[in-house]
Structure 1
Amino acid sequence: MDEYIVVVPEGTTEINESYRNVVGGAGYFVANNIFSRLVVTEVGGAASYPDLAEHWECLDGARRWRFTLNRHARWHDGQPVTAHDVAYTHLTALANGYHAASFLHGIVDIKVLDDHLVEYHLAEPNAAFLTQLGNFAATHVLPKHLYEGTDWATNPHNQQPVGSGPFRFVEMEPGGRIVLEAWDGYWGPPAGVDRVTIVVEPDLDECVRMIADGRAHFAPQDVLTMKRLPLAEGSAHATVYRERGPGVALLSFNYRQERWADRRLRLAIAQAVDRSRLERFAEPGWSEPWANFFPGSSYAVARDVTAPGHDAAAAEKLLDEAGYPRGADGRRLSLRMFYMATFDGHGGLARSIAEDLAAIGVHVEFAGLDSETWAQQIGREGDFDLTISGGNMMPDPDITASRLQGGGQRNHLALANPDADACYVAARSTTDQAERIAHYRRLQEVWARDVNVIPLFWYCIYLLRSNEFYGWADQVDFRIPFWHWGRLRKITGGES
C-alpha cells in the first residue's frame, strides 16, 4: 500500500469548509481532497478548470452562469451528485452567512434546470464569477441528503464527512491524525496513492525535520519559511519548491474606530514604515518588500501606483497636526497589532513595523493569534487596532473583494470606500480584460490616495515535498491546485 503522509501544525474538530474555515488547520486540507466544487481556479493564473462541472456558459453579459454537471459524479455513499446538491449548499451558505458566502456575493438565485444543469442568477454582471466559485477554501459542494433540515453547526457529518472527491474519509483522532483512502468509485482520474495520513505536529521546526528525514512527505505552505530553509537544506529525501506568492502582506486599520477616519493618522502610519528594513526577510528573486497593492504576478498590477514612502519626519508632523503630540514618556498613542500565527513569516514583519512606529512615538504591542482566536477576536468582535494579513490569492484581483470591498464577508477591517467599491463593480461588469485592468488601476489609485491599506511584502511560497512522489501541481501544468493530492503517485524504480 502506497501511503502519503502530510504533517500539519494545527488539527481540527470538523471538516466542512463551506460552513466555516480554520486557516491552515488539518480540516482545510482534508476538505480539499474529499469534497468537490463546480470548478477549480488556478492559484497562479486566471484559468478555471472542470471539477463537478464539465461545461459552463456565461450568459446575459455575465449576469447568468449555467453549469452542466458530470453525470458520473457520486457521493462516497453511492448517491448521485446532482444540481440539487449544488443549489442547496450555496443557497444555504448565503442565507446563513456561512464561509462559502465569502465567495458567492452578488447571487440573486440559483435555479435547478434539471438534475445535472444548474444556473446562477446575479444581481449585476460578474466576469470574475468563476474565480469566486473555484476558490480553494470555501465553495465545496455538500450532500443535500445528509445536511438538509439539519443545523450545519451540529451535523455529525462534519466529523464523518461524505464527499465526492478522489479520497474518502476513514477516521479522525482529534489533535492526532486523520486518515483518508483512495475511493474506487471516483468519477475523475483515480487517485495515485492508496492512503493519505495527516499527522498533527504543532512544532514547525519538527514539521520540517519530519519531511527532511523521510518520516513525512509534505507540509502545507507557511510551514517552511525562509528562516527554516537551513533545516531542509541537504535533505536526501525532499526538495524545496519555490513559487512567487499570489498575494501581498498588508498592514490594515480597524475602521470601526473613529480615529482611523482621519487620513492624516493613516498616512503617518504609512510613512513610518521603512520597507528597506524588511529586506532581511526576503530571498532575492523570490520575495521582497513591496509597495504595490497587487503582487507583481497579477495581470492588473499598476507598478507606478504605490503606497507612500518612508518619511519619519513627515509622519511626526502629521501626528502633531492630527492631535497626537508626544507625552512626557515620548509616546503619542498606543496600539495593538495582530497577525495570524499560521502565517509564521508575518511575525518578523510585525516586529519590524512595531519598531518603525516606536521611532515616531507610537507604541505597538503585537501578537500572533491561532486561527480560531483570529476568527473570533478579529473577525467577529473587531477587537484590534491594526492587523497584518496576507493570503489574498489573486488569479483575478476580484478575489480581494471579500476582504476589501464594503460589506465583504471577510472584511474584518470594516473598510467601506465608495470609490474603491465602484471599481470592483465596474471591473466585474466587463469581460474585456483591458477594460478590467483600467478599472483595477483606478482601484489601486483610490487605495493609494486614501491610504486604505498599506502593502508591506510580496512573499514566496515554500513547499518542502518528498522526492518519492510525482504529480505536484507544477508537474502537471498547474491544472490541479497545489493542495490537491489526487494526481500524486509513488515513483517506482527507473522513473525520474
Structure 2
Amino acid sequence: MAADRRPSLDFVVEVPAPAVEFNEVYRNFVGSAGYFVANNVYSRLVVYDTGSPAAFPDLAEHWEMAQDARTLRFQLNRNARWHDGHPVTAHDVAHTHLTALANGYHAASFLQDVQDIEVIDDHTLRYALRRPNAGFLAQLGNLVFAHVLPRHLYEGTDWADNPHNQHPVGSGPFRFAEHVPGERIVLEAWKDYWGPPAGVDRVVLDIETDLDEAVRKVADGRAHYMVQDVLTFPRLHLAEHSTTASLWRKRGPGVAVLGFNHTRERWRDRRARAGVAHAVDRRDLEPLADPGWSEPYAHYLPRSVEWAYADDATAPAFDPELAGRLLGECGVTGTAPLRLVYMKTFTGHAGIAAVVAENLRAAGVDVEVAGLDSPAWSREVAGEADFDLSISGGNMIPDPEITSSRFETGGGRNHTRLSDPEADACYAAARASVDRVRRGEHYRELQRVWARNVDWVPLFWYAAYYLRSDDFFGWPDQIGFRVPFWHWGRIRPATP
C-alpha cells in the first residue's frame, strides 16, 4: 500500500487587484496580484527591506563598490537555476537590465545610472555607472524593478507580447503553477531551488476586491496574510477580535505627497504651488491618523531616516488668507475644475485626497477627484499627464537615493515631470560621496530646496500594517529583515 501523503501546506494571501501580467521589469502595475507573483517567482541581485539599511544576497552572493562609487562588481551564486533547469548566468542579468534600459522599460526607473554592464565570466559581472552613485545598491534591491529574466526565453523577442509575461519562468523559491483570472493565482514551492527551501508547499493568491472581506478572511482564518495598503487605520476594527491572526505595525517607509503636474503652465509659477500648499489644513487629516504610528506631516522625509532627515525643512503652513490671495493672483481660482488623482490601490489616499479637495474648495478652487486603478494610472497619469494634482506615496528609506526616480529631472517614476536644477544638484552631490555623513548633509539640503521651491507638498506620514496568521513564522521582523514583506520564501509553520 502506498504511504499516505500529508495534505498540501498552503499559504493563502489576500490581494486586492487581479493580475495583468507578471513581467514587472517590462511594466509595472502597483499592488496587482502580478506584482506579488513577480517578487516570489523571480530573483534579483540583492534584496532590501525598509527595516534594514543593509542589502542581503539573492542571486549575488558577494559584491563590492569601488571608492569612486562608479563601479560595482557582483559574484553570482553558481548553483542558481531557472525553473526550466537552465543555469542562471551573468548573461541573463546583463541582458535583462541592458534591454530594459535600451527600451525605457519599467526597470529603467532604477537603472538610469548604468552606462554599461560587462560580463566577466558566467558568474561575474561589472556595472559601470555613468556618474557616481553611492546609493545604487539600494536602488537595485528595492521592490520589483530589477528582477532578472531568463535570456534564453526573452532574447530576440518583443517583450510586449512574449508569452512568458503570462507564464513566467523564474529562479525564485516558487514557480508559477496556475492562474484563474480574477480569482486566484497558485505558486508551488520549487524543489530544486538553489537557496533556502520554501517552508510551504503552495502560495495561493486570492483575489478579493472587497477590502473589508479581505480583512475578515485573514481575521477568521480563511487566509493567512494580506498585502500592505489593504489594511488601513479605518479597517483595524475588523481584525481586532481575531483569535488566529495578529497585527504587526510600524511607521511607514514614506510620506503621502501632493504633486503638481509641472507640464502645465499654471504650476510653473511658485506662487500657485505655494497657494495650494497654504490651503492645506493638516488638522483635517487627523481623523485619518493612528496616534503613535501615523500622522499629518509637513516634513519631506520620514524622521526615521535620521542620518539624512532635515527637521528645519517643512512645507508652507496653513494660511487660508494667503492661499486665496496667491491662487487668485495666479488665476487658479475661477477656472475649470482641477483634476486631483490618486491610485485606488493605496486605499488610504482616498481620504487624503478628499481632505485636500475640500481645503482647496474652501480657498475658491473647484476640484474634481478621480481614483484610478493601476492600469489607468499608468496610462492617464504616467503616460498622458492628464491631471493637475496627484496624491502618491512610495518608499523613502532606507536610502533617500531611491526617491530620485520620483523627484529628479527625467526620473523614470517622475509622473509630475518635476525638474528643479537645485534639487538635481543635491542628488548629484549626495550620490558622489561614499561617506554617509556627507551624503546626509546633501540630502538635508535637498529637503530645504524642496521646501523653499514648493516642488511638492508632504501631507501624511502613514503607517504600515501587517495582519498575519499566528500559524506561520518567517516574517521580515522575525528574521532580521533579511527579506522584504512581499517575499514569502522564508515563511514556514510556526510549530514543526
Q: Is the contact made by 1:333 and 1:361 (CA closer than 8 Å) also made in structure 2?
A: no
Aligned equivalent of 1:216, options 215, 223, 243: 223
The answer as to 2:127 corresponding to 1:90 is: no
Residue identity opposite 2:484 in structure 1: P
Whether 1:99 aligns to 2:106 is yes
**2:124 corresponding residue in structure 1:** 117
Which residue in 2 is equivalent to 1:309?
A: 317
Q: Matched residues in 1 for 2:367 and 2:78: separation?
A: 56
Cα distance between partner residues in 1 of 2:169 and 2:437: 43
Q: Which secondary structure does the structure 2 equivalent of 1:61 belong to?
A: coil
Superposition map of 1:37-76 within 5 A: 37-76=44-83
Distance 1:227 1:480, change over 3 A: same
* Corresponding residue to 1:449 among 439, 449, 452: 452
Equivalent in the alignment of 1:204: 211
Q: Percent identity at matched positions?
A: 62
Q: CA deviation at 1:467?
A: 1.0
Is the counterpart of residue 15 in structure 1 residue 18 in structure 2?
Answer: no
Task: Provide Cα deviations, 1:303-322, integer angstroms capped at 9, x if missing partner.
Answer: 12100110001111222333
1:307 partner letter: A
* Aligned position for 1:257: 264
Shift in CA distance, 198/122, structure 1 to aligned 2, threshold 3 Å: same
Among candidates 438, 462, 465, match of residue 462 of structure 1: 465
Which ranges of structure 1 fall in alignment gaps of 5 or more residues? 326-330
How far does residue 159 in structure 1 lie from its aligned partner after superposition? 1.2
Q: Does structure 1 retain, via aligned residues, the 8 Å contact 2:409–2:420?
A: yes
1:82-481 alignment, distance < 5 Å: 82-299=89-306, 300-324=308-332, 331=334, 334-481=337-484
Deviation readout 1:126-160 (Å, 9 max, x if unpaired): 10010111011210000000100001111111111
What is the deviation of 1:324? 4.9
Query: SS at 1:99's partner residue?
Result: coil
Aligned residue identity for 1:467: D
Q: Contact 1:41 / 1:130 at 8 angstroms: preserved in 2?
A: no
Deviation at 1:45, TM superposition (A): 3.2
Q: Deviations over 1:30-89 (max 9, x none)?
A: 111111000112223321111100001112511110000000101111111000000000
Alpha-carbon offset, residue 393 of structure 1 = 3.9
- Aligned-partner SS, 2:313: coil
The residue type equivalent to 1:318 in the other structure is L
Task: Count matched residues.
Answer: 488
CA distances 1:182-236 after superposition (whole Å, capped 9, x unpaired): 1111111100001111111111011001111111111100111111111111101
Moved >6 Å (runs of 4+): none
Supply the distance in 2 between the matched residues of 1:355 and 1:362 (Cα, whole angstroms): 9
What CA distance in whole angstroms lies between the structure 1 residues aligned with 2:472 and 2:59? Answer: 26
Equivalents in 2 of 1:379, 1:283: separation in Å? Answer: 31
Deviation at 1:392, TM superposition (A): 2.9
- Which SS does the other structure have where 1:401 is aligned? helix
Aligned to 2:4: none
Q: Deviations over 1:65-116 (max 9, x none)?
A: 0000000101111111000000000000000111111110111100000000
Aligned to 1:491: 494
SS at match of 1:460: strand
CA offset digits 1:380-424 (Å, max 9, x no partner):
000000000002342100101111100001111010000101111
Please give the root-mean-square deviation of Cα atoms over the aligned residues, in Å.
Answer: 1.1
Q: Distance in 2 between the 1:468 and 1:324 partners?
A: 55
Query: How far apart in 2 are the matches of 1:25 and 1:42?
Result: 20
Opposite residue 92 of structure 1, the aligned amino acid is T
Contact 2:188–2:201, Cα closer than 8 Å, also in 1: yes
Cα deviations by residue, 1:357-394 (Å, 9 ceiling, x for unpaired): 11110111102100000000000000000000002342
Partners of 2:202 and 2:147 in 1: CA distance: 22
Alignment gaps of 5+ in structure 2 = 1-7
Does structure 2 retain, via aligned residues, the 8 Å contact 1:9–1:204? yes
Cα distance in 2 between the residues matched to 1:343 and 1:31: 19
Distance 1:119 1:304 in 2: 40
CA deviations on 1:228-257 (whole Å, 9 max, x unpaired) are 111111101111110110100000100110
Distance in 2 between the 1:66 and 1:42 partners? 22
Instruction: Using the TM superposition, name which of 341-350 and 35-44 deviates more.
Output: 35-44
In structure 2, the residue matched to 1:328 is: none
Aligned-partner Cα distance in 1 for 2:325–2:51: 42
TM (norm. structure 2) is 0.97
Q: Which SS does the other structure have where 1:449 is aligned?
A: helix
TM-score calculated relative to the size of structure 1: 0.97
8 Å Cα contact 2:266/2:332 also seen in 1: no
8 Å contact from structure 1 (residues 8, 25) kept in 2: yes
Distance 1:398 1:465 in 2: 31
Mapped partners of 1:341, 1:321: distance in 2: 33
Q: Which amino acid aligns with 2:346?
A: F
SS at match of 1:125: coil
Alpha carbons 2:281, 2:359 under 8 Å: kept: yes
Distance 1:190 1:425 in 2: 41
Distance 1:96 1:324, change over 3 A: closer
Cα pair 2:63 2:74 within 8 Å, conserved: yes
Q: What SS does the corresponding residue of 2:170 show, helix, strand or coil?
A: coil
Read off the aligned partner of 2:318 and give its amino acid letter: H
Task: Tell me the SS of whatever aligns to 1:447.
Answer: helix
Secondary structure, aligned partner of 1:62 = coil
